[in-house]
Chain A
Amino acid sequence: MWDRIKEKLGILADSAKYDVSCASSGSKRKNENKGLGNASNGICHAYTEDGRCVSLLKILLTNHCIYDCAYCVSRRSNDVKRAAFTVQEVVDLTINFYRRNYIEGLFLSSGIFKNADYTMERLVLVAKKLRTEHNFNGYIHLKLVPGASKELVEQAGQFADRLSVNIEIPTEEGLRLLAPDKKREDMLHPMRVLKNAIDESADRGPRPSSLALPAAASPAKSRLFAPAGQSTQMVIGATAEPDLTILKIADAFYKKMKLRRVYYSGYVPISTDNRLPAIGTPVPLIRENRLYQADWLIRWYGFSVDELLSANQPSLDMEIDPKLAWALQNLHVFPLDINTADLLLLKRIPGIGLQSAERIVQARRYSPLHWDQLKKMGVAINRARYFIICKGLPQQPKDYAAEQIRQFILSAGHSKYHPNFSPQLALFQ
């Protein structure tokens, strides 16, 4: 029996791994009535040799699929070994891994067998069993099957912490080319259903503590509806969309669908299909990293897509990060005085991250900050120096041209500014 399970686990983990999301944070599910687990902090329990976080048991229920999307290993026409877990097998694996502190929970996806609803029903059943039969409060991320009915999407939200529909191919044209049986609308529909349901439950849900209802009135648990929200993934480099298009789409997802995260997954060549990059083509890791950086700038640093890219310049700079690129194009904003500049502007200085910007604002209330102190507060001074004014600066900023600064910074420390490939890490200082 163990050998069978092991073989299935191998096949169904192997085909699930191209989904890069592994987030297990952002929920607020507590352990109730001395049950098992909680979902709040999002711990990485291990890291693969490619440096990615392993936080969830990420598997497919089955890799049988009636569709034939060219970019997917599970596509109908691909000659791979197929397998399927039973609902109970997934439940047992999750519980036993969780109890040993291997994982934060389950990320369950699936190839589509029979039809969308038939598949979705089984995914929901796994989550339901975990919650109701095992009093499991760990993290559950369910993939929504494109085309799944409104009822099933809503049920999924009652048991899962996060739900996601992967858009995969950013544009409609790309989709038509690579996944002719799939319609963009089939993916957008469950997203919209979910957005509405999440909005509604937020209206109904517990307000900040002062207005909390008596606990007996309605247990908090029954009100939780996909507390970690929804996310999606786009494959990068399988089709020809420029970064500008990709970021515009992501931005619209954040704003209109209120997605928590958009993931970018550099295409890993897995097919000889000539509509796609050939096997052996390198995975666009640097580009993927730059997209994550730009995404962070948009979500946390107050940048808009239009500030970073334009029709004339639709691609991110591969040599330097997008924040430095922006600064070099906007030298008129600098130099900024460390002791007086607004938090919002401090955050825009290359070499100063969110945390150091906040620290600067707090520390300068005690006494004006000196260059030496800045160094010790976590500021990457070798980049920041070209953009700031501060007492004790070894050299007052000269009127360097953007190109000169770029060269200084690039030659200053190769290893340090070498792109970091992990989607979990933001690379700004």
Chain B
Amino acid sequence: MNTVIYDGTFEGWLSTVFEVYERRLDDVRIIENDAPSLFGNSITITSDEAKAHRVWKGLCARISINAAKQLYRSFLSEEKGREDHLLAYARYALSAKLSIEYDYAHPSVRYVIDTDKKVRREKHRMEAFVRFALTADQIYYATVSPDFNVLPLIRRHFEQRYADQRWLIYDTHRKYGIYYDLHQTLPVTIEPANPACPADPACPADPSLPDSPNPIFTPDETQYQDLWRHYFQKVNIGARKNLKLHLRHMPTRYWKYLPEKRPSL
């Protein structure tokens, strides 16, 4: 068994695949470097853009761009052991003459398809459940803590849709955000001024805050949240109540970000 340690980035994983081929390693286990180093006999790989690029190009020559994206998104799942599954997928793809992406009966193809599906679902949920609040300095601000690292995946959607407003989406779990300044979107980190609220005192996710007048937000902000909550209650048809379905679509773990699910004033 060869244990390979890499830096946890996608580029790092691609570089690892390169080394696995270069050094003809088999029976490999790939571990992210922040795990305790219990492995005396391990190889440490540093990310290398050129090597990563070669592997990516090699993969894209064997599978469609769509399958390559599936692979990338599966990586963003941060699921334990994904590096090994994806390595098996890459090996299968690189060894076959035909694209293997539709071989649903193969375990690593299925792993990629199933994991990708979960990640995409989370991506869609974030596109749906992000709720911006307008700050006094005219930034539409939202916090999220998705199950997977999906900010890189939702960036384009928000850029295209909200091209004429500045916005910031902050991942409180991974402690970084993406900020669009009307020209480009950049990754940002925020120093938490208030440890009680994960990101910032401006965090609209803190259930104790949103309804009290908060100088960080525009004076109208509370009013719009209140109108939205009111609207949400009014469109419900009591005679059709189906809480099970409601919860399946809107799992409680997302509620903290949704003004419509917070108790009203």
A45 at the interface (CB under 8 A from B): yes
Residues of A with C-beta under 8 A to B160: 30-31, 38
B162 at the interface (CB under 8 A from A): yes
Residues of A with C-beta under 8 A to B234: 9-10, 13-14, 17
A50 at the interface (CB under 8 A from B): yes
- Interface size for chain A: under 10, 10 to 19, 20 to 34, or 35 or more residues? 35 or more
Whether A50 and B103, one on each chain, are in contact in the complex, defined by CB atoms closer than 8 angstroms, is: no
Residue of A nearest to B258 (CB): A46
List B122-145 residues whose CB lies under 8 Å from chain A: 124, 127-134, 140, 142
Whether B163 and A34, one on each chain, are in contact in the complex, defined by CB atoms closer than 8 angstroms, is: yes
Whether B104 and A362, one on each chain, are in contact in the complex, defined by CB atoms closer than 8 angstroms, is: yes
* Interface 9-residue window, one of B11-19, B24-32, B65-73, B221-229: B221-229
Contact of B164 among A36, A285, A363 (CB under 8 A): A36
Whether A44 and B249, one on each chain, are in contact in the complex, defined by CB atoms closer than 8 angstroms, is: yes
Q: Cα distance A43–B258 when bound, in Å?
A: 15
B241 at the interface (CB under 8 A from A): yes
List B168-191 residues whose CB lies under 8 Å from chain A: 182
Contact string against B for A residues 35-74, beta-carbon threshold 8 Å, 1 for contact and 0 otherwise: 1111001011111111111100110000000000000000
Residue of A nearest to B142 (CB): A101
Whether A46 and B162, one on each chain, are in contact in the complex, defined by CB atoms closer than 8 angstroms, is: no
Whether A268 and B237, one on each chain, are in contact in the complex, defined by CB atoms closer than 8 angstroms, is: yes
List A265-281 residues whose CB lies under 8 Å from chain B: 266, 268-269
Known contacts A2-B223, A6-B227; A99 and B104 CB within 8 A of each other: no
Contact of A13 among B235, B239, B241 (CB under 8 A): B235
Give B67 Cβ to nearest chain A Cβ, in Å: 12
Known contacts A17-B234, A17-B237, A97-B228; A44 and B104 CB within 8 A of each other: no
Q: Cα distance A352–B206 when bound, in Å?
A: 44
How many residues on chain B are close to A (CB under 8 Å)? 53
A367 at the interface (CB under 8 A from B): yes
A78 at the interface (CB under 8 A from B): no
Whether A99 and B237, one on each chain, are in contact in the complex, defined by CB atoms closer than 8 angstroms, is: no
Whether A96 and B224, one on each chain, are in contact in the complex, defined by CB atoms closer than 8 angstroms, is: yes
Whether A49 and B227, one on each chain, are in contact in the complex, defined by CB atoms closer than 8 angstroms, is: no
Q: Cα distance A153–B146 when bound, in Å?
A: 44
Whether B237 and A13, one on each chain, are in contact in the complex, defined by CB atoms closer than 8 angstroms, is: no
Q: Cα distance A285–B245 when bound, in Å?
A: 14
Whether B235 and A17, one on each chain, are in contact in the complex, defined by CB atoms closer than 8 angstroms, is: yes
B242 at the interface (CB under 8 A from A): yes
Q: Cα distance A421–B246 when bound, in Å?
A: 11
Give B155 Cβ to nearest chain A Cβ, in Å: 14
Residues of A with C-beta under 8 A to B37: none
Residues of A with C-beta under 8 A to B130: 101
Q: Cα distance A53–B242 when bound, in Å?
A: 12
Whether A93 and B227, one on each chain, are in contact in the complex, defined by CB atoms closer than 8 angstroms, is: yes
Give A365 Cβ to nearest chain B Cβ, in Å: 7
Known contacts A6-B230, A50-B236, A377-B104; A35 and B163 CB within 8 A of each other: yes
Whether A36 and B236, one on each chain, are in contact in the complex, defined by CB atoms closer than 8 angstroms, is: no
Q: Cα distance A44–B182 when bound, in Å?
A: 26
Residues of B with C-beta under 8 A to A31: 160-161, 163
Q: Cα distance A57–B232 when bound, in Å?
A: 10
Give A55 Cβ to nearest chain B Cβ, in Å: 9
Give A277 Cβ to nearest chain B Cβ, in Å: 12
B51 at the interface (CB under 8 A from A): no
B23 at the interface (CB under 8 A from A): no
Residues of A with C-beta under 8 A to B227: 2, 5-6, 9, 93, 97
Residues of A with C-beta under 8 A to B230: 6, 9-10
A332 at the interface (CB under 8 A from B): no
Give A87 Cβ to nearest chain B Cβ, in Å: 18
B260 at the interface (CB under 8 A from A): yes
Give A33 Cβ to nearest chain B Cβ, in Å: 9
Residues of B within 8 A of A (CB): 100, 102-106, 110, 124, 127-134, 140, 142, 157, 160-165, 182, 220, 223-224, 226-228, 230-232, 234-246, 248-250, 258, 260
Residues of A within 8 A of B (CB): 2, 5-6, 9-10, 13-14, 16-18, 30-31, 34-38, 41, 43-54, 57-58, 93, 96-97, 99-102, 135, 266, 268-269, 282-283, 285, 359, 362-363, 365-367, 369-370, 373, 376-377, 420-422
List 11 additional A-B contacts (Cβ < 8 Å) besides A41-B157, A43-B127, A266-B240: A2-B227, A10-B230, A43-B128, A46-B128, A46-B260, A47-B245, A51-B245, A97-B228, A101-B130, A366-B106, A376-B105
A-B contact pairs, 19 of them (CB 8 A): A9-B227, A14-B235, A16-B235, A34-B164, A36-B162, A46-B260, A48-B246, A49-B246, A51-B244, A51-B245, A51-B246, A52-B237, A96-B220, A99-B165, A100-B131, A363-B103, A366-B103, A366-B106, A421-B242
